[in-house]
Amino acid sequence: MDEPKCEDGPRVVHAPIDRLGTAGLWIRKQLLAKILQGTTVLVLIQKHRTPKLTKLMKFFTFLGTEDFYVLLVVSFLWILDARLGRLLGLLMAAAFYFGGAVKNLLSLPRPPSPPIIPLKKETDWGLPSHHALLGVNIPWYIWFYMYQNYQLEVPVAVVLFLTLAAWSFCVMFSRLYLGVHSPADVVAGGVLGCLLLSFWLQVDNVVDFYMTSINISYMILVGVVILMLIHPDSYPLTITYDDTMAMAGITAGFAFGRGFATHRVMYAILDKYTISSLGMTKFVCFSGLRLVVGLCIYLVLKTVLYHGTCFLITGACQLWGITTVCIKRRQLVTENNPYYNSNFRLPDHKDGASQTAEKSLSLSESLGLLYENKIVNIEFVVKFITYSGVGWCAIHWLPALYCYFGI
């Protein structure tokens, strides 16, 4: 991959934490120093790259992506353990939120390039690493859940532990190998992951219990909206907020799906049967059928909801004389080089806070609500409703469909 392009002149990068003045700038400078200290380690790893090892590391980094985790969550929801699937989905959303919030709050660069040559294209800021945060949260929550809720025989427990430990380690190491994160990014993500996991282990049962009430579902919806309104954004814009909005929508959908499913029997295959009672052939067929049908419905529903919601909101706004557009955040994001280079600058102590205030976005601009000439961009609202519908379908309607047809 080509090295990221360098700007022609100095680029002063502001961040929301600069509003704290000297304290905020001091925090960023200390963390930036830690990021740069890890360059020697990355250069050493870079010298040992091989084509086969690069392919393997790209596979490991895929095991820490949103696409893989979504597939994992629905596999638990529909096949293995519906309760674990729900809790994993909520934990993943929380990790995306807090990881994205800290990343935007600090707006710190990825490793210096040159000398590091990144092997994957990234456009958002570096610290903390989302892969590291989720690489701690997801594998180790599965371990604690299985250990507490299943009577695992010692050989099975050992194999499961080693598999999850290898998964977690390989995901985090792959980010160093590919040159897209510094050791400081990975360590910060891992520490945040441990803190979030520790908190989640204390409240997961309480959250799952209270989600059975539709009144609590409405409260969760309000809470999610408030959290998204106070979520910090960076300047220049990145896709971090966009990804977090999608996960926020899924969280709201899970809450409503769980609340409305109180009097319905929603189960994964192994919640009701065992592999021995079904037979391996029947289990594999049912599992494959659930995944294929579910993912096809997901793709169709996502498209229909997105365009249908956009059409309805646009029509309603026109009745009130409001002109709207639906432009995705990725189209509004300017080309951002998130890697450190000689042109990267932090604000100085004297005018850092004032410059940050001037550079900071208003709430409507941050959410993408104002596009040009006060035309309202409804894309974030459309995205939230779309992913809420998708989450509701995944946790409620699809399991009901599977139960109805006996698969």
pLDDT band per the 50, 70, 90 thresholds, residue 206:
confident
**Shortest CA distance to 133 belongs to which of 76, 176, 94?**
94
Distances (CA, A) of 360 to 9, 132, 241, 328, 355: 21, 28, 15, 20, 8
Tell me the pLDDT tens digit for each residue of 69-80. Answer: 888 988 888 888
Q: What is the pLDDT of residue 129?
A: 92
For residues 135 and 168, is the Cβ–Cβ distance under 8 A? yes
How far apart (Å, rounded) are the C-alpha atoms in residues 328 and 333? 9
Would you say residue 357 has pLDDT above 50? no
Distances (CA, A) of 132 to 35, 125, 264: 15, 14, 37
pLDDT band per the 50, 70, 90 thresholds, residue 9:
low
Domain that includes residue 96, residue range:
11-405
Task: Write down the mean pLDDT value for the chain.
Answer: 82
Helices and strands in the chain, H and E counts: 18, 4
Q: What is the pLDDT of residue 359?
A: 47
Average of per-residue pLDDT across 162-172? 94
271 lies in some domain: yes
Average of per-residue pLDDT across 75-86? 86
How far apart (Å, rounded) are the C-alpha atoms in residues 342 and 351? 21
The C-alpha torsion from 232 through 233 and 234 to 238, rounded to 10°, is 140
Average of per-residue pLDDT across 347-366? 51
Domain count, the chain: 1
How far apart (Å, rounded) are the C-alpha atoms in residues 90 and 99? 14
Residues sharing a CB contact under 8 Å with residue 48, sequence separation 6 or more, in sequence order: none
Q: What is the pLDDT of residue 208?
A: 81
Would you say residue 84 has pLDDT above 70? yes
**Shortest CA distance to 353 belongs to which of 10, 25, 13?**
25
pLDDT band per the 50, 70, 90 thresholds, residue 168:
very high
Q: What is the pLDDT of residue 22?
A: 86
Average of per-residue pLDDT across 292-302? 90
Q: What is the pLDDT of residue 352?
A: 47
397 lies in some domain: yes
Would you say residue 27 has pLDDT above 60? yes
Would you say residue 183 has pLDDT above 80? yes
4 lies in some domain: no
pTM for the model stands at 0.84
279 lies in some domain: yes
Using the structure block, give the residue that is written with the tokens 């092997």. 119
- Within 98-152, strands assigned E span none
The bridge status of strand 11-12 relative to strand 344-345 is parallel
371 lies in some domain: yes
Tell me the pLDDT tens digit for each residue of 309-332. Answer: 988 988 888 888 777 777 777 766
In this predicted structure, which of 8-12, 43-47, 216-220, 280-284 has the lowest mean pLDDT?
Answer: 8-12
217 lies in some domain: yes
Average of per-residue pLDDT across 298-307? 90
pLDDT band per the 50, 70, 90 thresholds, residue 334:
low
Tell me the pLDDT tens digit for each residue of 229-268. Answer: 888 877 777 777 878 888 888 888 888 887 776 555 567 7
Q: What is the pLDDT of residue 367?
A: 47
Q: What is the pLDDT of residue 214?
A: 65
Q: Could you tell me if residue 23 is left (phi over 0), alpha (psi between -120 and 50 degrees) or otherwise beta? A: alpha
313 lies in some domain: yes
pLDDT band per the 50, 70, 90 thresholds, residue 24:
confident
205 lies in some domain: yes
Kindly state the percentage of the chain with pLDDT values over 70: 87
